[in-house]
C-alpha cells in the first residue's frame, strides 16, 4: 500500500529477471519492474484441457509455482499509476501479456502494451512513448497453436504408449519431422549407386601473352545435344587414349556481369545451424547467447549495450 504523500510508480511487467534488471537501469526509479518468468497460465497437465464440444475452447489454470508471482503482480498493480506489459514482441509474448491481464485481474487498471526489438535506451524509450493495445489476433494465433499442440500431443502420445512403448511422445511438429526423417532414410536405403567417370584436362595456351593454366572437363562433341556419359574405367581409358596429343581450340568465350545478393538475416534455425557448424555450439547454448545479447550486456565504461 502506498503511504500518504508518496508518488505511485509505473509498473512494468516483463518475462525474465535479466530483462527486468536491464530495464531498471534504463527507465529509472519512477518504474517498478517485475518479471513473470514466462507464462503464468497454461492448459492443465492432468487432462486434455480443451472443450472439443464447445468450439475447442481452452481451459486455463495458473500452475502452483506461478501463484505467488501472480499475487505479487496483482498487489503491485494496486499501487501503480499505470501498468505496462513489456513482454517479448512475438506471438508468445503477446499471449503472455493477455494471460497476465486475465490471471492477475489487471483489466481495471490503465494497461498499456509496449514492444521493442532491442533493449537499448533509445528503443525502450521510443516504445514507452508509443504504447498500444494488446494484439488479440496474435493472442488467438498463439492459442490456436497451443490447442493444436495439446490435441495432437496429448491424444496421439496415448496411442504410442499402447502400440509401441510407454513414455514416447508425439507432437504437432515432432511427429511430422519424424515422418520426414523416416521417409528420407527409406529413400537412402533404396538408393542404388551407379558408377560414372569424368575426365578433366589441365590446359595452357600454346601461344599468346596469357599462359595461365586452366582445367577443362570433357562434356562430349560440340555437336552433341547432351553431355557424354562414361560408365566405367574401360570407357574412360579409351577416351583418354583418343584425346592424348590432340589439339584443343577455344571455340567461344562468354563474359557476363554477375551479382550476388547479401546473405539473408538469420532466422532461429539458420542461427542455430551456423553456430553449430562454425562454433560447435548446441542449440541451447546458441539461444542462451542470443537471449543474453537481446537483453544487453554491461561493458566497462559503456554501460548497458
Around Cβ 26, how many Cβ atoms within 10 Å? Answer: 19
- Within a domain: 161: no
Residue 294 sits in the same domain as residue 234? no
- Within a domain: 214: yes
Residue 17 sits in the same domain as residue 107? yes
- Within a domain: 96: yes
Residue 25 sits in the same domain as residue 69? yes
Domain assignment of residue 283, given as a range:
268-304
Residue 102: what pLDDT?
Answer: 94
Residue 286: what pLDDT?
Answer: 97
Residue 32 sits in the same domain as residue 104? yes
Q: Give the pairing of strands 9-14 and 31-35.
A: parallel
Tell which residue, 7, 67, 11, 2, has the closest CA to residue 34: 11
Around Cβ 153, how many Cβ atoms within 10 Å? Answer: 17
- Within a domain: 88: yes
Residue 239 sits in the same domain as residue 276? no
- Within a domain: 173: no
Residue 50 sits in the same domain as residue 109? yes
The b/e string for 212-241 (b: 16+ C-beta within 10 A; e otherwise) is eeeeeebeeeeeeeeeeebeeeeebeebee
Residue 288 sits in the same domain as residue 212? no
Whole-prediction pTM: 0.71
- Within a domain: 147: no
Residue 251: what pLDDT?
Answer: 80
Residue 129 sits in the same domain as residue 215? no
Residue 216 sits in the same domain as residue 283? no
Residue 240: what pLDDT?
Answer: 92
Q: What is the mean pLDDT of each run of 10 residues along the chain (305 residues)?
A: 66 93 90 95 94 94 95 94 94 96 89 92 94 96 96 90 90 92 96 93 78 85 80 94 85 88 93 96 95 78 67
Residue 14 sits in the same domain as residue 114? yes
- The residue written with cell numbers 508425439 in the block is 170
Domain count, the chain: 3
Distance CA 170, CA 148 (A): 12
Nine-digit cell string for 205: 595456351
Residue 208: what pLDDT?
Answer: 66
- Within a domain: 172: no
- Within a domain: 44: yes
Amino acid at each position: 500500500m502506498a503511504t500518504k504523500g508518496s508518488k505511485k510508480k509505473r509498473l512494468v511487467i516483463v518475462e525474465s529477471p535479466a530483462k527486468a534488471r536491464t530495464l531498471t537501469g534504463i527507465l529509472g526509479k519512477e518504474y517498478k519492474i517485475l518479471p513473470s518468468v514466462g507464462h503464468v497460465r497454461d492448459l492443465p497437465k492432468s487432462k486434455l484441457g480443451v472443450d472439443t464440444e464447445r468450439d475447442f475452447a481452452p481451459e486455463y489454470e495458473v500452475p502452483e509455482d506461478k501463484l505467488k508471482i501472480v499475487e505479487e503482480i496483482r498487489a503491485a498493480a494496486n499501487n501503480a499509476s499505470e501498468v505496462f506489459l513489456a513482454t517479448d514482441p512475438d506471438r508468445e509474448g503477446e499471449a503472455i501479456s493477455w494471460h497476465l491481464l486475465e490471471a492477475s485481474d489487471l483489466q481495471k487498471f490503465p494497461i498499456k502494451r509496449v514492444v521493442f526489438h532491442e533493449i537499448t535506451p533509445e528503443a525502450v524509450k521510443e516504445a514507452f512513448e508509443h504504447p498500444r493495445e494488446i494484439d488479440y489476433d496474435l493472442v488467438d494465433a498463439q492459442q490456436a497453436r497451443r490447442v493444436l499442440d495439446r490435441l495432437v500431443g496429448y491424444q496421439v502420445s496415448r496411442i504410442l504408449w499402447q502400440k509401441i512403448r510407454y513414455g514416447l511422445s508425439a507432437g504437432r511438429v515432432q511427429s511430422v519431422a519424424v515422418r520426414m526423417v523416416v521417409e528420407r532414410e527409406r529413400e537412402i536405403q533404396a538408393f542404388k549407386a551407379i558408377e560414372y567417370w569424368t575426365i578433366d584436362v589441365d590446359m595452357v595456351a600454346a601461344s599468346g601473352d596469357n599462359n595461365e593454366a586452366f582445367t577443362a572437363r570433357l562434356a562430349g562433341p560440340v555437336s552433341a545435344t547432351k553431355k557424354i556419359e562414361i560408365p566405367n574405367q574401360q570407357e574412360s581409358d579409351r577416351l583418354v587414349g583418343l584425346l592424348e596429343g590432340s589439339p584443343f581450340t577455344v571455340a567461344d568465350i562468354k563474359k557476363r556481369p554477375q551479382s550476388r545478393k547479401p546473405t539473408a538475416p538469420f532466422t532461429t534455425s539458420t542461427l542455430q545451424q551456423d553456430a553449430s557448424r562454425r562454433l560447435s555450439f548446441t542449440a541451447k547454448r546458441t539461444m542462451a547467447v542470443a537471449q543474453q545479447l537481446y537483453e544487453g550486456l554491461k561493458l566497462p565504461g559503456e554501460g548497458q549495450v
